[in-house]
Amino acid sequence: MNASAAAAILPCWSCKGPVCGRALFCSVCGAVQGPNAADHFARLGMTPAYDIDIDALERQYFGFQRRLHPDRFAGRSGKEKMLSQQQATSLNEAYETLKDPLKRAVYLLGLLGRAVDLSACGTISDPELLMEQMEKREAIAEADTVEAITKLSASADADVIACQCHISAAFNAGDLDAAAELATRLKYLTKLAEDARARKGRLMRGA
Amino acid sequence: MLLQLHEPGETPAPHDDEGGLAVGIDLGTTNSVVAVARDGKAEVLRGEDGRGLVPSVVHYGDDGSVVVGEKAREAILESPDHVISSVKRLMGRGLEDVKSLAGTLPYSVEVAPEGGMVRLKVAGRVLTPVEVSADILRAIKARAEAALAKGVDKAVVTVPAYFDDAARTATRDAARLAGLEVLRLVNEPTAAALAYGLDNAAEGLYAVYDLGGGTFDVSLLRMEKGVFQVKATGGDAALGGDDIDHAIAEHFLAERAERLGEQTITAGEAKQALMVARIAKECLSRSEGGEWMIEVDGKPSRHFLDRATLERLALPFVGRTMSICRGVVADAGVELSDVRGVVLVGGSTRMPLVRAKVAEFFGRQPLADINPDEVVAVGAALQAEALTAGSDTLLLDVTPLSLGIETMGGIVEKVIPRNQPIPVAMAQEFTTYQDGQTAMAIHVVQGEREMVDQCRSLARFTLRGIPPMTAGAARIRVTFTVDADGLLTVSARETATGVEQNVAVKPSYGLSEDEMAQMLRESLEHARDDMARRVLTEAVVEARRSVLAVKAALRADSDLLSGTEQQAIDAALAEVERAIAGTDRDAVNAAVERLEAATKGFAEKRMDRGIRQALAGVSVETLGSALDGGEE
Ligand SMILES: Nc1ncnc2c1ncn2[C@@H]1O[C@H](COP(=O)(O)OP(=O)(O)OP(=O)(O)O)[C@@H](O)[C@H]1O
Ligand SMILES: [Mg+2]
Ligand SMILES: [Zn+2]
């Protein structure tokens, strides 16, 4: 325990003294440090869980950005500007991942050792999901009034929310296989909801 | 968790001796404005005539003179071939891009033999849009220096949120040519929101509708706890009041041709018609109708125009802005009712038709208390002060357009989608498609379309030295990094062998480093001084940081030093401070190096003690935290 604490002590690039590997700033000279290897939850000071308080996440993100964003380092040395840019980049990546219900599910599954690769599978292997998706996609493509598409879009949004609730329940029950399967489902539902929204936009613009 | 962290990295007050003032500049298509802020109050810097707007028009004389502003604009009629206007539309653009503008530009445009950014032919000279913009910025800088009786060498410069990487880079280059350090490129809508103090207003979603001379922009900003976030942006880099002027001018010219029984329209007539059209349009924002005259070669024609006719001519353009608004709202996935306020920006929003349409669309009266053509500069000035003096407000911007790479068959693979908060870094893996392939061409593009030829080409480079493998075996990781100004860097790496290439993307339509250096040499009589000063300033900033760091370390841990060790460090510190007071960069760097050597043993002792304490269970959080940071 203490040995690992010692290993987490690194020299500050600026004053060369000891600084905790997790620190954002050197407590002696105040220099900004580079981003550490923390996971996205730790980076934003959140407990790793699927159910997160989005307001709290946002507050944390803004709070960190306010201190680390490159704008806070205008007129500072080149190295400080570079490190702050890296810090801000890491914060953006963490925030973008955690605030999105699908990305968060996939990321958390990875952290828990149950990696899923949603980008790889272009085809749907589950025949039931496939049928459902094809039918809904067709309905969206064929909707040609604002009322019809508004209804479809609302129902697609509702499906997305329901699926997120199921994912949450699966994580809470510790059933990672179910969570992984639902994450795949969420990916397609989200895509459908986006398509529906886009079509709604086009119909409303009269195109 | 947030509270546990130390706060020693606060931005220090700037050193007054580090150079001139920082101003905010709205470099517009039609007009440019400069403002300065002190203690949170911004003031537009006016010329002798009391006007804040400097027409973004440059007159190049046969004698080599350069005149910017109202005088240059007046000269359009007498010597149109010596005047350049609306140059912002050409920033970072190639000939292909400006074809659509052909005929709308009152000067001839060509490409350089080696391709790239367009060149302008004027008064026997060939200039890039960057150089013309630099001339405008020089005039703005001179105006600010005269008004403030002080040197000005730093600026926040605004750009349309929709500006792509090429145009942003070109803007930055122009400022550099004019001897201005760009503290930050800020999106115009964000600047406008700052000017309205929306950073202190009720939290929520705000829309900024900006219809200027040459560009239209609409943005949705979210303001929360002092943080501004651009949620979504949209616009058209070639839509604005100029288009309305053209429509009116065509209307006038058709009337004139009919009345005078002439078929051909001369360039002189076109120019005068445009100028009269603008005057008529601006006048009709206040009155209901009027009569104007075009007179060329002694042939006068009179033209009556009322507001209803104007609005009929303007409606297609205003309509286009509204459908872009609709798209942006849909894109952001928000409801119109979420929008808590609408800010009007740009001279063209003085038109009653525009105000009515905006109010109708958003279902509320827009904010328009600040002069719509000065509001952007006011916000830029506030941000310039915030950056140099420190502030609580933070601007978080997003990528305006998707960035991607060309893959097989001319299809674009997106690497960074649009509306991503910046700074951002994202990577994508690609592979070879031929056996034994040792090089891979990388073509970086920007835009939303799927096919390469419908996107904008930003840069091309070739990754070489890939070890020959079977097709599909190599793993080439391409990383895109976009900084807080929205400027892109691309690096590519073959992951098996680590062959790596880094390119700062100098856009296809940009200037090369060589061209830039050449222009700096030619254009600034004191270019060398300028460069030397810049390098010295950098060395001094770095040296100051070293001194503060060592002093902080001494305050925390000087008990580790013997009397002689301490004296050696003190002497090295004094030497750096002496060097900083001088102007010799090499002396500064040498003194910093000696300081580093003199503190090497001290640093080792500090690390040793830190590790020993950690092993003994002293909480790492409390290590060295007896003092609150290193600033004096
Ligand atoms: N009273 C008015 N009524 C109508 N239009 C006006 C009025 N005053 C100015 N304009 C128009 O506003 C435009 C210039 O606006 P502005 O100065 O905001 O543009 P800009 O910032 O230079 O351009 P851009 O934002 O496109 O870069 C011109 O087309 C001008 O004719
Ligand atoms: Mg403008
Ligand atoms: Zn330090």
pLDDT digits (tens, 9 = 90+) for B61-86: 999 899 999 999 988 878 878 999 88
Do B375 and B297 share a structural domain? no
CA–centroid distance, B194 to ligand 2, in Å, is 15
Q: How many residues are listed for chain B in this entry?
A: 632
Cβ contact B624–A18 (<8 Å): yes
Mean pLDDT along residues B137-157: 94
Burial class of residue B167 in the structure, from the number of CB atoms within 10 Å of its CB (0-12 exposed, 13-18 middle, 19+ buried): buried
Residue B65 lies in a domain: yes
CA–centroid distance, A138 to ligand 2, in Å, is 44
Of B266, B281, B315, the residue at which a domain comes to its end is B315
Catalytic residue among B131, B164, B199, B210: B210
**Which CATH number do you get for residue B452?**
2.60.34.10
Give A21 to chain B, closest Cα distance, Å: 9
Do B167 and B114 share a structural domain? yes
Domain count of the fold of chain B: 4
Mean pLDDT along residues B333-337: 85
As given in the structure block, the two tokens for residue B282 are: 């601006």
Given pLDDT bands bounded at 50, 70 and 90, which one contains residue A155? very high
* pLDDT at residue A202, rounded to an integer: 79
Do B31 and B73 share a structural domain? yes
Residue B271 sits at the vertex; the CA angle it makes with B266 and B277, to the nearest 5 degrees, is 125
Among B199, B227, B230, B482, most A C-beta atoms within 10 A, so best to mutate, is: B227
Q: What is the mean pLDDT of chain A?
A: 89
* pLDDT at residue B293, rounded to an integer: 94
Q: Is the ipTM of this complex over 0.85?
A: yes
Given pLDDT bands bounded at 50, 70 and 90, which one contains residue B493? confident
Cβ contact A30–B323 (<8 Å): no
Do B511 and B447 share a structural domain? yes
Same fold, A3-99 and A121-204: no
Give B608 to chain A, closest Cα distance, Å: 8
Told to judge if B188 belongs to the known catalytic residues of this protein, a careful annotator would answer yes
Mean pLDDT along residues B256-260: 90
* pLDDT at residue B629, rounded to an integer: 30
Q: What percent of chain B has pLDDT over 90?
A: 45
Beta strand ranges found along B237-383 (DSSP E):
289-296, 299-306, 339-345
Nearest CA to ligand 1 atom 18: B346
Do B65 and B194 share a structural domain? yes
> Which of B545, B546, B615 is the closest to A6 by Cβ?
B615
Q: How far is CA B218 from the centre of its chain?
A: 16
Instruction: Return the H-helix or E-strand segment holding B501.
Output: strand B500-504
Mean pLDDT along residues A59-76: 89
The residue type found at A190 is T
Told to judge if B81 belongs to the known catalytic residues of this protein, a careful annotator would answer no
Residue B628 has pLDDT above 60, yes or no: no
The answer to whether B392 contacts chain A (CB < 8 Å) is yes
- Which residues of chain B have a CB within 8 Å of the CB of A197? 330, 333
Least confident stretch, A66-80, A186-200, B509-523, B556-570:
B509-523
CA–centroid distance, B214 to ligand 1, in Å, is 8
CATH code of the domain made up of A3-99: 1.10.287.110
* pLDDT at residue B495, rounded to an integer: 80
Helix, strand, coil percentages (3-state) for chain B, rounded to 5, are: 45, 25, 30
Mean pLDDT along residues B162-175: 88
Look at B61 and B108; give whichever has higher pLDDT: B61
* pLDDT at residue B104, rounded to an integer: 59
Q: Is the dihedral of CA B183, B187, B189, B190 positive or negative?
A: negative
Q: What percent of chain A has pLDDT over 70?
A: 92
Do B147 and B56 share a structural domain? yes
Residue A82 sits at the vertex; the CA angle it makes with A79 and A85, to the nearest 5 degrees, is 150
For the CA of B217, the closest atom of ligand 1 is: 25
From chain A residues 174-193, the ones with a CB under 8 A of any chain B CB are: none
Query: What is the separation, in whole angstroms, between the first and last Cα of chain A?
Result: 64
Distance CA B275, CA A165 (A): 62
φ and ψ at residue A178, rounded to 5 degrees: -65, -40
CB of B73 shorter than 6 A to ligand 1 = no
Query: What is the separation, in whole angstroms, between the first and last Cα of chain B?
Result: 27
Do B618 and B559 share a structural domain? yes
The runs of H, that is alpha helices, within chain A are 2-7, 40-43, 54-68, 78-99, 101-111, 127-142, 146-172, 176-204
Do B576 and B546 share a structural domain? yes
DSSP-derived 3-state class of residue B59: strand
> pLDDT per residue over B509-558, tens digit each?
666 666 666 666 665 555 566 677 778 888 998 999 999 999 999 999 99
Q: What is the mean pLDDT of chain B?
A: 84
Give A92 to chain B, closest Cα distance, Å: 6
> pLDDT per residue over A113-145, tens digit each?
998 887 655 566 778 888 888 899 999 989 888
Residue B607 lies in a domain: yes
As given in the structure block, the two tokens for residue A92 are: 């953006």
Residue B499 has pLDDT above 50, yes or no: yes
Do B183 and B75 share a structural domain? yes
* pLDDT at residue B6, rounded to an integer: 26
* pLDDT at residue B344, rounded to an integer: 96
Of B274, B298, B315, the residue at which a domain comes to its end is B315
Burial class of residue B232 in the structure, from the number of CB atoms within 10 Å of its CB (0-12 exposed, 13-18 middle, 19+ buried): buried
* pLDDT at residue B456, rounded to an integer: 82
**Which CATH number do you get for residue B544?**
1.20.1270.10
- Do B475 and B495 form a contact (C-beta atoms < 8 A)? yes
- Which residues of chain A have a CB within 8 Å of the CB of B231? none
Residue B111 has pLDDT above 90, yes or no: no
Residue A174 sits at the vertex; the CA angle it makes with A173 and A177, to the nearest 5 degrees, is 110
* pLDDT at residue A177, rounded to an integer: 93
The answer to whether A11 contacts chain B (CB < 8 Å) is yes
Residue B449 has pLDDT above 90, yes or no: no
Q: How far is CA B421 from the centre of its chain?
A: 16
Q: DSSP assignment, residue B451? A: B
Do B84 and B174 share a structural domain? yes
* pLDDT at residue A109, rounded to an integer: 96
Nearest CA to ligand 1 atom 9: B347
Of B288, B315, B342, the residue at which a domain comes to its end is B315
Domain boundaries, chain A: 3-99, 121-204
> pLDDT per residue over B188-247, tens digit each?
888 999 898 877 777 889 999 999 888 888 999 888 766 677 778 888 877 999 899 999
* pLDDT at residue B100, rounded to an integer: 65
A121-204: CATH, from 3.30.9.10, 1.10.3720.10, 1.20.1280.20, 1.10.1740.10: 1.20.1280.20
Residue A205 has pLDDT above 70, yes or no: no
Residue B35 lies in a domain: yes
Residue B15 lies in a domain: no
Look at B524 and B564; give whichever has higher pLDDT: B564
Q: Which domain covers residue B574, as residue numbers?
A: 527-623
Q: Which residues pair with B105 in a beta bridge?
A: none
